[in-house]
Amino acid sequence: MLLGPPSGKKVLWQELLRHELLAALEQRPVVIVPVGSVEQHGPHCPQDVDISIPYHLALRTADAIDDFPVIVAPPQLLGFTHYNMGEVGTITLRLETFIDVLCDIARSIWANGFHRIVLLNGHGGNEAPTWAASVKLAEEDVWALALTYWNMAPDELRAWSEADEGGIGHGGEWETSLQLHLREGLVDMSLAVKDEWRVPFSEDVQRYAWFPERRREMEHGVMGDPFTASAEKGKRLCAVLVERLTALCREYHETEPLRYREFGSHCP
Ligand SMILES: [Zn+2]
């Protein structure tokens, strides 16, 4: 039902046959769970920007690695995004529901024997909750690495930004660029607008103090400048992100799964 990579390689968890999953288990597989959100993204972008990006990054990484299995789990489309309500299109989960869903997904994958799990997040509002899910799971000795995609390339984002100063924004320079690269037909640049960011503190204080969001205060629901976006910039950033995710999967594959060590077990 969901689209796999253009090569036709089987990488989607839900499409694999039982014996293929069992064979993968023998090869120290990595499972990537794309985690996103369905929410307003300004007038020019579709609602599913924040799940489409981690989903495509996971697909491309799984497609690029042939010497061990990288499996893409069913994407978690819905996230924690109450602050985007108020513009049509947003569907949000409550914080506790979102964390519970992520934990149940990771527990299930772990119970199937897959012990190298990446929760690859694409939505700002999910960042802290996805980390919280990872922390909660660790308490149960279930290990899922929580990762938000733009944190894989902060230097490039800063260096290549023409307007948004390295921030991923919301329907701004970088999300729009990635959409133009990944799914150009779903973007309508004739409707693009640039909103001003409204923040309560000076630039100096913002560096260490900020509030969580409530309602998006921007007039059009955009953070950043989509007029500086281009498919070429999206392609450039996407290539770096896939490279970083690939490097992570390779090291994860080599690493023994984390396990809780009983207190005193290392004592003679
Ligand atoms: Zn977004």
Q: Using the 8-state DSSP alphabet, how is residue 220 labeled? A: T
For the chain, what percent of residues have pLDDT higher than 90?
A: 83
Q: How far does residue 9's CA lie from ligand 1's centre (Å)? A: 28
- Contacts of residue 90, Cβ cutoff 8 Å, sequence gap at least 6: 38, 39, 40, 47, 81, 84
Q: Which residue has the tokens 């069913």?
A: 74
Residue 246 confidence (pLDDT): 98
Cα–Cα distance for residue pair 224/41, rounded to 1 Å: 11
Q: 96: helix, coil or strand?
A: helix
Cα–Cα distance for residue pair 122/252, rounded to 1 Å: 20
Model confidence at 219, in pLDDT bands (50, 70, 90)? confident
Cα–Cα distance for residue pair 150/166, rounded to 1 Å: 9
Residue 39 and residue 112 in contact, taking contact as beta carbons nearer than 8 Å: no
Q: Which amino acid is at 83?
A: Y
Q: How far does residue 35's CA lie from ligand 1's centre (Å)? A: 12
Label residue 160 left, alpha or beta by phi (over 0 means left) and psi (-120 to 50 means alpha).
Answer: alpha
Give one DSSP letter per residue of 222-265, joined into a string: -BB-GGG--HHHHHHHHHHHHHHHHHHHHHHHHSPPP-PPPTTT
Q: How far does residue 20's CA lie from ligand 1's centre (Å)? A: 34
pTM, full prediction? 0.94
What the block records as the tokens of 220 is 């059009």
Task: Using alpha carbons, list the distances in angstroms from residue 243 to 4, 67, 127, 250, 256.
Answer: 19, 16, 21, 11, 22
What the block records as the tokens of 113 is 């024997």
Q: How far does residue 148's CA lie from ligand 1's centre (Å)? A: 12
Give one DSSP letter per residue of 25-94, joined into a string: HTT--EEEEEE--B---TTTS-TTHHHHHHHHHHHHHHHH--SS-EEEPPPB--B--GGGTTSTT-BB--
pLDDT mean across residues, the chain: 94
Residue 203 confidence (pLDDT): 86
Q: How far does residue 119's CA lie from ligand 1's centre (Å)? A: 17
- Nearest to 192, CA basis, from 44, 34, 30: 44
Residue 142 has pLDDT above 90, yes or no: yes
DSSP lists the bridge partners of residue 12 as 72
What pLDDT, in 10s, does the model give residues 123-132? 999 999 999 9
Q: How far does residue 171's CA lie from ligand 1's centre (Å)? A: 6
Residue 263 confidence (pLDDT): 61
Q: How far does residue 111's CA lie from ligand 1's centre (Å)? A: 32
Q: How far does residue 25's CA lie from ligand 1's centre (Å)? A: 34
Task: Using alpha carbons, list the distances in angstroms from residue 60 to 12, 72, 239, 255.
Answer: 12, 10, 9, 22
Label residue 224 left, alpha or beta by phi (over 0 means left) and psi (-120 to 50 means alpha).
Answer: left
Ligand 1 being an ion, which residues bring their Cβ within 5 A of it? 49-50, 170, 175
Q: How far does residue 262's CA lie from ligand 1's centre (Å)? A: 41
Q: How far does residue 192's CA lie from ligand 1's centre (Å)? A: 15
Residue 265 has pLDDT above 60, yes or no: no
What pLDDT, in 10s, does the model give residues 71-116? 999 999 999 999 999 889 999 999 999 999 999 999 999 999 999 9
